[in-house]
Amino acid sequence: MESLSSQEFPGAGRPPEEGQPAAGSRCWVVARQLLAAVLLLGLSLGSPVLLVYLLRSCGPGACDSPACRALLARALASRNASASAAPCADFFSFACGEARGSRDPFQALAEENKRRLRGILETLGSQQPGSGEEQAFRFYSSCMDTDAIEAAGAGPLRQVIEELGGWRISGNWTSLDFNRTLRLLMSQYDHFPFFKAYLGPHPTPPHEPVIQIDQPEFDVPFKQEQEQKIYAQNMREYLAYLNRLGTLLGGDPDEVQEHASMSISIASQLVQFLRPLAQRRAQGKPFQVVTIDQLQPLCPSSKELAPAIDWLSCLQATFTPMSLSSSQLVVVHDLDFLKHMSRLVEDQLQNHRDFLQSHMIFSLVGTLSPALDSQFQKARRELSGKLRELTEQPPLPAHQQWLKCVEETGTFFEPTLEPLFVREVFSPGTRSAAMELFTAIKDALVARLRRLPWMDEETRKKAQDRVTQLQVKMGPPEQAPEPALVGQEYNDIHLGPSFLQSFLSGVRARRARIARGFLQPFPRHRWQVSPWGLSAHYSVSDHVLVFPAGLLQPPFFHPGYPRAVNFGAAGSIMARELLHIFSQLLLPGGCPACDTHALQEALLCLEGHYAAFPPPGRAPFNGSHTFLEDAADVGALAIALQAYNKRLLWRRGEATLPNLDLSPQQLFFLSYAQVMCRELSTQESRDTHSPPILRVHGPLSSTPAFARHFHCPHGTLLNPSRHCQLW
């Protein structure tokens, strides 16, 4: 077959059987060789008849490589080709008719990547003692030693609680300094019960790394656009979970109940202080830059900020080895939240110091549950399962110890495992083919920017320059770190005597590694994505877009796939990530020089277009907070299709998949849709994407070429009378 790789990079890193052209492609090679002679001979020799014969006989070839056979099996297993799943009426059912939660392609690929990582970890036992590979093997082995973890029981966790001062429900509590406990939680346990602090690029140019203070995360959804009945059920389940934790740690049931109820009350009050990002943007304050001494002022008249927290001490301990001072600038995402949070903490310290301590312990136990014995893990899984059931989400996959252990080992030993994983799954030929695909997508975006009616010339020129100047990384960094530097990453990881202690040592070492990375000039730390992960990452500070090796795998991408598959699946993913760079332009005030009337018309068209679809699921769907992702979905499909059509114009003999009875263009749209195949369920409140059925039907119905290639009658769901073009 003639794959993207075989066209652009002959023989680059491909197995021999996948580098052979299909019959149709060989025919086109012959046709090209004869074309020059045909043109020279002219009409006198009847050459047009010969040319027409060659063109008609050189149809697309069928791809029969192992990679294509596996892709075909997946497509046939997922696709619903019955008459009831008419592509023009419901393409999601046509492409994903048999899809259920377990067939989510991202979940399946994530698990496959972890299986590969598991195979690597289980072969590292013979490495040099003290090396990163040997430590990774020992950590993974201790995680898999469930007998030892069960034998230790709650003992290691009780030791942690005692180091934090204990808590009243266990009968051994010392009323220590609140900020001492908070400092330990942040620096030693990577736990933030009242706010979240992390290192990230500054929101404005030149995007230098800076400490950011954001809203906290919560174990359960606290009354976010929920019905009162569901909210009450959530709280009952969460209370039962906290009661179970306290009982497992030896607390008296009545006292546990009281402290668990107060912990939920504290969390509920914190939630009331939160302001959504959209609201902060509308008020012109999506973030504020302040100094540490402004958060914790020495002047009593300035106590309206957040004086309950010893910010300098807590942040310095958390981000060691960085050297901080009271004049250090930090980015605060919601200063009003910090003010209210500080007052709540001060009130609790004056009246209920023991309840405040219990709240911090309860939330810490939840964070540490993956490293605890089966009773704690089971309690956590059952809580998650019940909460998902209440919100009509699909159940979680069955618990597998190896999967949890691979995830944790990968988190703590990523610098060592990265080259081993990439060497196994990402050949130079795969990288070259992926770069060629991205170049085609990038060129298509530049071309589309020239035709946007709402974009002014200056903004258009800047946008085109940003696209052309963008760096892209496929797989791992080109420069691997020095072995000596990799070895230094693990000097602070001390394994044993319990798995919890090994886990906490890994937590501390990883946090220190991140802080050291931000002090180094080499921007390796800004990748923020593991090689076996599935999320692309854009580094705004370096203007670099990263696609990890784990994402550029079957079923989304393979050098031996037909181009229709690579452009429809991986190409649309790449285009979506490119458009995210320009999402700010679509926000109010994001493009002052643009034609705001034309832009608003395009946005309203898109909003009305999505609102016309039947609501997915039983609960009403509010698409107002998904419009940025909707715009990216529609634009990504248009860009990927334009890039694919250009390749077809210059490269004939497109390969197909046998037994699907689909043209190359139809295969392109099928591949796009099957990226979205997953269970139809109610959206999580924080999900900024539309439900999967809308992510398929919205873009396809905005693409006239889809209706043309599937012969959809005018006026059907996926061939409406009006189409929207935003990108």
Q: How far is CA 596 from CA 158, 449, 455, 725, in A?
A: 60, 16, 9, 15
Question: Which entry of 577, 629, 630, 654 is annotated as an active-site residue?
Answer: 577
- Which H or E run contains 331? strand 329-332
Residue 147 tokens, joined? 């007998």
Contact 476, 415 (CB under 8 A): no
DSSP code string of 562-630 = -HHHHIIIIIHHHHHHHHHTTGGGGSTTS-TTS-HHHHHHHHHHHHHHHHTSPPSSSS---GGGSHHHH
Residue 613 tokens, joined? 């679809």
Whether the bond into 497 is cis, omega within 30 of 0:
yes
- Among 355, 344, 332, smallest CA distance to 308 is for 344
Number of helices and strands in the chain (H, E):
31, 9
Question: Any idea how long the chain is?
Answer: 727
| Torsion sign across C-alpha atoms 278, 282, 287, 290 | negative
- Among 113, 239, 174, smallest CA distance to 551 is for 113
Question: Which entry of 90, 408, 633, 654 is annotated as an active-site residue?
Answer: 633
- Among 520, 709, 648, 700, smallest CA distance to 96 is for 700
Active site residue 577: yes
Active site residue 90: no
- Which H or E run contains 485? helix 483-488
Contact 521, 167 (CB under 8 A): no
- Classify 231 as helix, strand or coil: helix
Residue 465 tokens, joined? 């320059």
CA distance 400 to 558: 29
Instruction: Look at strands 288-291 and 209-214 and give their pairing.
Output: unpaired
The residues annotated as belonging to the active site are 577, 633
